[in-house]
Structure 1
Amino acid sequence: MMRAVYLLGALVVLLVLVLSSLFIVDERKKALVLQFGQVVQVKEDAGLGFKIPLLQDVVLYEDRILGLQTQPIEVTLLSDRRLVVDAFARWRIVNLVEFRQSVGTGGEDRAQQLLGNILSQAIPEVLGNTTQDQVLSQDRVGLMNQILTIAKREGAALGIDVIDVRLTRTDLPEQNLEATFARMRAERDREAADERARGGEAAQRVRAAADRTVVELTSDARRQAEVIRGEADAERNGILAAAYGQDPEFFAFIRSLSAYEASLKGGNSSIVMQPDSEFFDYLRSDAGRASGASVGPTTVPAPAAP
């Protein structure tokens, strides 16, 4: 009976030892087997692994691409302009042994700090030899490639591969933003004033041209009206002269009636003349009208004629 108990205990101990000697590596991980802090085995493939129980430990690391967002860095450009720049980097562990030796027990967090320091030195080194226009233009891609080259070289010593580096922010320092915005507002105000001035000048030219056109059209219309009026007066006078030539006595009679009508209308004006004046020849007897006829049309006052 005691023998069976001992045998069962031994089996349990053996099972525990066997299970503790096994470890599983996920497909997203890589593993190092350490013995007294020294690397004795590297397992980069997913699956089941073995180690010596109690003597050896397994440390897992990421096999995926990791990202790093750097802290904002103030950079002085070649043109003495200052910019606040930050970057985003993607990296991956490629050499577990060198990585372990470089970061120690800090793992990926320590690697992030070291890579951040590398980028903090590479960014000013590259951007310090450029101008603001280059940073903000298509040349920015070339600048990022230069930073990536430096990061790759430095990161290789850590056992990592820096896959990509991107500048995500290129802003002016806070103390310079307000002055820059004020200058931009002043430039826009000046451009707006210039546009308004040019618009006012153009409007003045249009108004002057329109006024000149109005004057020319009005003058031409008046001239044509005067010509037409003169032609009409000439035609009227010709008709009157023709009528006068056909019957001078009747014409003198019509002219006298018109003069009577104009002078005898009610109003504030008064006419003082002798009763036997020739003006009243056609208002007296038949003899008077005959006498007026003998006087002829030259004795009829013409001013009241239409």
Structure 2
Amino acid sequence: MRKLMIPVIFAALALMLMSLFVIPEGERGIVIRFGRILKDNNDISKIHEPGLHFKMPLFDTVKKLDAKILTMDGQADRFVTAEKKDVIIDTYVKWRIEDFGQYYLATGGGNTLTAQALLERKVTDVLRSEIGAREIKQIVSGPRSGVITPVLGEDGELMPESALEALEVDGQRDMIMLEVLNDTRPSAMKDLGVYIVDFRMKKINLPDEISESIYRRMRAERESVARKHRSQGREKAEIIRAQAELEVATVLAEADKTARVTRGSADAEAASIYSGAYSKDPEFYSFLRSLSAYKKSFADKSDILVLDPKSDFFKYMNDSSGGSDK
């Protein structure tokens, strides 16, 4: 009897352990029996909260599903606007499982990749419709009005504030995200059993070939404006340089004129003084002039004068009275 009790106890323990299962925090569990989800009395899928639970061993299978908010961050996709222009939009979706039974059946056993693929298809279809009904400037701009747009004048300079134009920008980026969110929530809940928490457009770009064309055009426009500014700068520099040269020439001419007038007045005054001195005592004046000439002539020992000793230049050396030898 005792030998039979031991196997029975082990079998009972094994069955008890097989009937226990634990749902971790952040997850929910559903029990599958004979390929069907167990439901409660209200014919709603029975969801097991985190903790310790029981199941029927050998017949029941537990499927654990993530109950946290998940993020679907797919690849950027190409969309066509109302202007028939392509834009590259990168988006992300925040979602969580709301109806775990419906989610399990719709995704082929709770496959997250399948759920994201189906959800991405729904979001992309609605977003494609919204983008196709709007222009690029509406897609990239938020809700703004009365935006001041800078205007360049004919000289390429920014016009004063009074001349700036006010442009009404009908930005609908936020509206697009809200429309996509509202349109995809009901169908996602009905078909997949998931609730879309949020939808956002992270980045809006133009295709590389269009962006490069736009950059080239912008670069050409900026270079044209730069050349115009440089040309105007050179023109103003030449004007300033010519004015400066004219002022310099005028000042030098006036200074030379004043110097000549002053020098002429001084020469006239000196001549008048010399004339007065000569008229008072011509002999003494002649003597002083001769001394001054001797001093200048014999200032350097290397100077050589070839003159007749009896010439008038040496008359005061030969005769202190200034008389000439007969």
Query: Does the pair score TM above 0.5?
Result: yes
Higher fraction of helix: 1
Q: Residue type matched to 1:69 in 2?
A: D
Shift, 1:280, TM fit: 6.8
Return the alpha-carbon distance in structure 2 between the equivalents of residues 281 and 203 of structure 1. 63
Pick the aligned partner of 1:26 from 24, 27, 31.
24
Q: Residue type matched to 2:112 in 1?
A: E
Contiguous gaps of at least 5 residues in structure 2: 40-45, 143-170, 294-302, 305-310
The question of 1:46 aligning with 2:50 is answered yes
Deviations 1:74-93, CA, capped at 9 Å, x for gaps:
11223333111121222111
Q: Which residue of 1 aligns with 2:254?
A: 220
SS at match of 1:196: helix
Pick the aligned partner of 2:8 from 7, 10, 18.
10
**Segment of structure 1 superposing worse, 184-193 or 140-149:** 140-149
Q: Which residue of 1 aligns with 2:227?
A: 193
Q: Which residue of 2 aligns with 1:209?
A: 243
Return the alpha-carbon distance in structure 2 between the equivalents of residues 222 and 141 of structure 1. 78
Given that 2:18 and 2:57 are in contact with CA atoms closer than 8 Å, whether structure 1 keeps it comes out as yes
Shift, 1:282, TM fit: 9.5
SS at match of 1:79: coil
Return the alpha-carbon distance in structure 1 between the equivalents of residues 49 and 14 of structure 2. 25
Return the alpha-carbon distance in structure 2 between the equivalents of residues 245 and 17 of structure 1. 157
Shift, 1:249, TM fit: 5.2
In structure 2, relative to structure 1, the CA distance for the partners of 1:153 and 1:215 (3 Å cut) is farther
Q: Which residue of 2 aligns with 1:182?
A: 216
Q: Residue type matched to 1:130 in 2?
A: R
Q: Which residue of 2 aligns with 1:130?
A: 134
Return the alpha-carbon distance in structure 2 between the equivalents of residues 44 and 204 of structure 1. 88
Given that 1:61 and 1:107 are in contact with CA atoms closer than 8 Å, whether structure 2 keeps it comes out as no
Return the alpha-carbon distance in structure 2 between the equivalents of residues 163 and 171 of structure 1. 25
Question: Larger Cα Rg: Structure 1 or Structure 2?
Answer: 1
Return the alpha-carbon distance in structure 2 between the equivalents of residues 232 and 4 of structure 1. 153
SS at match of 2:31: strand
Given that 1:76 and 1:83 are in contact with CA atoms closer than 8 Å, whether structure 2 keeps it comes out as yes
Q: Which residue of 2 aligns with 1:110?
A: 114
Shift, 1:238, TM fit: 2.8
TM-score (norm 2): 0.70
Matches within 5 A, 1:131-170: 131-138=135-142, 139=171, 140-157=173-190, 158-170=192-204
Q: Residue type matched to 2:263 in 1?
A: R
Shift, 1:40, TM fit: 1.5
Return the alpha-carbon distance in structure 2 between the equivalents of residues 237 and 151 of structure 1. 114
The question of 1:119 aligning with 2:143 is answered no
Given that 2:90 and 2:204 are in contact with CA atoms closer than 8 Å, whether structure 1 keeps it comes out as yes
